[in-house]
Each structure stands twice: as C-alpha cells, then as structure tokens.
Chain A
Amino acid sequence: MDTVLTKELSRIYQNGAAEVKAVDSVDLTIESGEFAVLAGPSGSGKSTLLNLIGGLDRPTAGTVHLSGELLNEKTDDELTRARLFKIGFIFQAYNLIPVLTAYENVQFILQIQGIPDSQHADRIMPLLQELGLDGLEHRRPSELSGGQQQRVAVARAIVGRPSIILADEPTANLDSESAVNLLNMMHRLNLEQKVTFLFSSHDQRVIDIAQRIISLRDGKICDDIRKN
C-alpha cells in the first residue's frame, strides 16, 4: 500500500523577481514499511519535499496523498490533525519541549491524541526501553545528551503509531557513535515493527543504511535506487 504518493509536486518560492523552484514536478511513491532517504546536496530540495509530504508547507502545484488522503484540499486544522495521527516528525535540532521530562515529551502526543491515561505507561515504557532510555524518563531535555534527546524525539514520533516517520537530517547534530546508534535503532524499528521511515539527509551513514536512496538535484529526482 502507498503511504506517500506525490504527483507533479512543485514548490516555487519568489525571490524578488526571480522564481526559485525548490521542488520541481516530483512524482514519488513511498510504500508502507520502507526505509528510504532523500539524498542530495544542500539546496537540492530535500527538506522542502519533506515539509510538503508532512503537510508543513503547501505545494505551488501538484498533489500529495498520505495514506490515500489528498493533503492539498485540507484546511490548516485538518492538516494539523493529519500530522498528529499519521505522521511522526524527527527534526535535526531534537526539538523537545524543554519544560517536560523525556517521558512527558513522549506522553504529550498520546495526550493530544486523546488516548486514555491508563494506556500511556504501557505504550511509552517499552518504547523508551527499546531506545535505551530506561532510567532517563524523568530527566528534562537539558539533562540529556544530544543522542539521548534525539532518541526521545524518535520515541515521540513513533508513540502515536503514525503511518510514516519523516526525519529531517536527524543525525546532523550528533557525534558519530550517537548517530550510528540512533540509525541502528530506527532500522531495527523498521525491521521489527514495520515502521515506515523517510529521511532527508546527506549523511553517508544514513545513505548506507537506507534500503532506498532517492537522490535530488535542483528540486528534481535524479536517481532512485532500491537496494536488495
């Protein structure tokens, strides 16, 4: 089943009189259970494409379908709801809520999804253990290392059981060891729990571990390689 389907997807920015095509007529399909990366140099349109797929930005032309639903026609509130239930985000700069503990950051998604409190611990604790965060659940982000924070961000992205995880340069701020550990954990989640991941990255370690490499240049897909 297609998790993401884009047709002729474009995003054009006006820079004075000049037009900048950040994403240019992209046709892309991401299937359920894939572990794919959008690769390319800076300015190739990776993050813009990820934002369009995640409903954080609206396309200038073309369409985005997420789990069969057309995102283009949704209102702001409907897009927000789609992000809440269908997409998990992981950002470069961790972006945890600084006043909440690791556990509460993950719990926050369940709370706004309206999941009963009685189910929270059963869903959160195994996830934190899986990501090597047991014992750290009561720490605030400022008390965690960069790698630990990013693992909390992964747990937050996964806990709501979305259709896809969109990860924008998730290893960019991590040291080598933390980056490899994080990637291995996400790969294991993909293999064991069939969580769909779409990365945007130019980190070779991400490209090496990905099953599918979608290369972008000047907003267009220039290569799409699936590894066996």
Chain B
Amino acid sequence: MLWLNLAWRNLWRNRTRTLVLLLVISGSLTFVAWMQNIACGSYDKMIEEAVRMGSGHLSFHHPGYPAERLTEQYFLRSQAMPLLAGRTGIAAILPRLYVSALARSSRDNRAIMMLGVDFDLEKQVNPLLKETKTVAGHIPASDTQKLAYIGIKLAENLRIDIGNKLVVMFQDLSGEINSKLYRVGGIFKSGVTQLDSSTIFVNRISLAEGLGNRDALHELAVLLDSRDDLPKHLRQLKGACAEIHGLSVYSWEETSKQIADAIKIDSTQFKFMIFLLYILVTVGTVNLLLMSIIERTREFGLLRAIGLDKRRIGWLITCEALLLGSLGALIGLVATTVLSFYSWHYGIDFSAMFGEAEVAGMLFDMRINSSWEWGWMFGLAAAMIIVVLLASIYPVRKALRIAPAEAMKRH
C-alpha cells in the first residue's frame, strides 16, 4: 500500500500533466473500443442483411453451383428438406431458383436474372422484397403464378409498366429453349444498379415448371435464429450431405465471399489503426513520464541517499504507470460504455455523411447500431495498461541510473 499510496500522490503533483495523460489514455481507448463496437455492429448488420438478401446463414446447393452457377446444376427440394426437419434454431427456409434469361417486351429486350422465390416467405425476411422498395404496384403473393416483380431500370429499359406483358426466354433443365409470359405486378427500386436493371422476381413453382422439374432448386437458403449456432448446424449438415449425391451445404462466408472478405479487410485495417494509435500513446506516455522523472531527479537522489534501493525506486515508478494506465483504462471503459449504449440503443445514422453503402452488389442501410464487444473492450483496456507499463520501462531505467551524490547537487 505504501508504494501505491506514494505513487498515487506523486501522480497528482503535476495535475495538468496527469490529466493530459489520462485524457490521452482514456480518449484513445474510448475511441478504439467504441469504434470497434460500431465496426462490429456494422459487420453484424452487413452479415444479417447479406444473409437475408443472399444465401442465408447456410445454404444448400448442387456442389458445382456456387462456382459456376449453371442452370442445370440444380438439386431437388425433397433431397434437402428432410435434413432440416425437426431441427431447432431455424428462423426461415427459403427455396430459390436463379435463371439467366432474355426478357422481351413489345418494345425492347434485355438480358436478365430471373429469381424464382416464394414471395410470402421472402417478404418476411428479404430486405429487397419490402413494400418500402416498391415504387409501383405490389409484391406478388405466393399463389400468383403470372405476376413478375421487376427492377425500375429494367422497366424503363423495356419501356413497360404495371400490368404490361413481358416474355422471358430461358434454357430449361434439359437444355431446350423455353419461354414464359408474365405481367408486371410490381416495380422495385433497390438502389443497386445491377439489381434494378436486370432482376425479375417470379413465382418459384411457375419457374420450376418452366424449367421442367417442379421440385428443382438452385438454392435452399436457411436463416438461423442465432449466428452463433452456425458452426454446429454446418458441421452436422455437412456430415449429412456427404451421404447425398449432388447436394452440398455452404456457410454464408463461402457463398458471400465478397462480403466476408470486405469485413476481413476492414477489420484488419482497423486493427492496424489500433496498433498505430497505441504506438502514439506509448510515445506520448514515455515523453510525459520522462519529464516527470527528470523533474524529480534530485528527489530520486534523495531516496537513494536515505536508503531506497533501485528495485524499490523502479517499483515506485512502475506503480505510478500502473495507476495511470489503470485509471485511464477505467475512464476509457466507462466512456466507451456510455457512448456504446447510445449508439447501441439509438444507432448512428452515417447516411448523411456517406449515403447508402453498396458492397458486393448489395445495398446496406447506413444507420448502424453498435454491438457490445466486451471481450474487445476489456482486451483493449488491458492492452492499454500494458502499453503504459511498457512506456515506463525507459523512464524507470533512466531513474535508476541517477547517482545519488550527483542528483543531490541539482536544484
């Protein structure tokens, strides 16, 4: 207690310097820990929106489909569904077909991607199939076989509107050319150029019949209640799929590789920024601790003279650094908690600064709610204390080199 007590009082000898150091330490910690919470919140949002728009937390495909995406690389719904029967922790199962086609109106034609979906299921989870994205008409119901929901740019290019006809031509599963007639039931505007100019959503059953197999699927996307359960489900389903020919299961990281890579790159850049910031904190702390040591040269000489050995002088300065780092870390953690609570509860709308973000052909809402990365927060706080302790090594060595007789001559 003697050393902590003395160290604590020494810290407040120069109140301004200590406050500046505390501000640097706690401010840096707050900045990186809060940013980390926001970053992780944005990653969570990206993943959740990506899995809803894309292939779910996990998805079933023909083994060659994720790489080649050929129409004939399909599997049967009846093969995959039994694997999910009775499985808990599943929020939604979304069967889908993806077919490249040529859309023709009476005035123009365009190459398109036709998505066969179950509208009622998709409307519950898919951010693209929300009425807020609908600029004309409505999202068709699942039992409507002949209505299409098309992108606004495609509608403009084909010069069609609600109720107009369009014919889609595509290759069926046997390689024959087939065509189907639809009417425009709704027009959406996603904000993603590629989607708005070349995507048509249609009834999955009607498209499957056009392909020649009512049970055919290119994707069975599975949304889980919690992403934490993904490894368990994936491991079990991969085991089950190994026994079924022509069926494989993939995680979102495999099917939405661009999103996963974007998160990985962003996260790596952020870690590098933390590293740089901590180096700056180290330099600043060394500087201010050193000033404190130099100012007290005479006093360290006195302490040596009256019988304090080098080890205890080193320990005294280490205690000062420990208290400084711990107090800075504590203030930083409290400030991070307060700021993170705000951004977790109310969210921060970055759209005013950055607009909407398009990553890998998907559009993300820029209102971010931060997550609670307690492990990161305490890890960064511990790292900050270690950084301050490391920063004290040089000043400690400097103090221990002070010869008492020489130090006592200084005024």
Contacts and interface: CB of A to CB of B under 8 A. Distances in A.
Interface of A: 51, 54, 56-57, 76-77, 80-81, 83-85, 89, 91, 93, 95, 97-100, 108-109, 111-113, 156, 160
Contacts of A77: 309-311
Given A56-B405, A91-B408, A95-B298, A109 B9 contact: no
Interface string B296-313: 001100111111111110
Contact of B6 (A84, A99, A156): A99
A80 B304 contact: yes
Contact of B305 (A54, A85, A112, A113): A54
A99 B306 CA distance: 16
Interface of B: 2, 6, 9-10, 12-13, 298-299, 302-312, 404-405, 408, 411
A64 to B, nearest CB: 14
A81 B307 contact: yes
A56 B308 contact: no
A86 to B, nearest CB: 9
Contacts of B304: 80
B307 A83 contact: yes
Nearest to A50: B405
A109 B307 contact: yes
Given A57-B405, A113-B307, 7 more contacts: A80-B307, A80-B308, A93-B411, A95-B298, A97-B303, A98-B13, A108-B2
A85 to B, nearest CB: 7
Contact of A99 (B13, B303, B310, B405): B13
B302 A76 contact: no
A60 B256 CA distance: 78
A83 B305 contact: yes
A184 B269 CA distance: 72
Contacts of B405: 51, 56-57
Contacts of A97: 6, 299, 302-303
A20 B75 CA distance: 99
A158 B9 CA distance: 25
A84 B302 CA distance: 12
A59 B309 CA distance: 20
Contacts of B10: 99
B306 A83 contact: yes
Nearest to B302: A95
B305 A89 contact: yes
A100 B305 contact: no
Given A56-B408, A95-B298, A89 B13 contact: no
Contacts of B306: 83-84, 89, 108-109, 156
29 contacts: A56-B305, A57-B405, A76-B310, A77-B309, A77-B310, A80-B307, A80-B308, A80-B309, A81-B307, A84-B306, A84-B308, A89-B305, A91-B302, A91-B408, A93-B411, A95-B298, A95-B299, A95-B302, A95-B408, A97-B6, A99-B9, A99-B10, A100-B6, A100-B9, A109-B306, A112-B307, A112-B308, A112-B312, A113-B307
Nearest to B2: A111
A215 B304 CA distance: 29
B279 to A, nearest CB: 31
A93 B2 CA distance: 25
Chain B CB within 10 Å — which of A84, A89, A99, A156 has the most?
A99
A99 B2 CA distance: 12
Nearest to A94: B302
A112 B9 CA distance: 18
A104 B12 CA distance: 17
Contacts of B12: 99
Contacts of B310: 76-77, 80
A51 B407 CA distance: 12
Contacts of A84: 306-308
Contacts of A54: 305
A26 B13 CA distance: 43
Nearest to B313: A80
Contacts of B9: 99-100
A46 B287 CA distance: 38
A100 B3 CA distance: 12
Contacts of B6: 97, 99-100
A200 B232 CA distance: 82
B246 to A, nearest CB: 78
A113 B309 CA distance: 11
Nearest to B7: A99
Nearest to B309: A80
Nearest to B404: A56
Contacts of B298: 95
Contacts of B299: 95, 97-98
Nearest to A97: B299
Nearest to B307: A84
Contacts of A89: 305-306
Contact of A81 (B302, B305, B309): B309
Q: Which of A57, A80, A109, A160 has the most CB of B within 10 A?
A: A80
A142 B140 CA distance: 85
Nearest to B411: A93
Nearest to A105: B306
The 8 closest A-B pairs by CB, nearest first: A84-B307, A99-B9, A56-B405, A57-B405, A80-B309, A95-B302, A83-B307, A51-B405
A113 B307 CA distance: 9
Nearest to B407: A56
A85 B307 contact: yes
Nearest to B3: A111
A55 to B, nearest CB: 9
Contacts of A160: 307
Contacts of A108: 2, 306
A6 to B, nearest CB: 17
A93 B310 CA distance: 23
Contacts of A76: 310
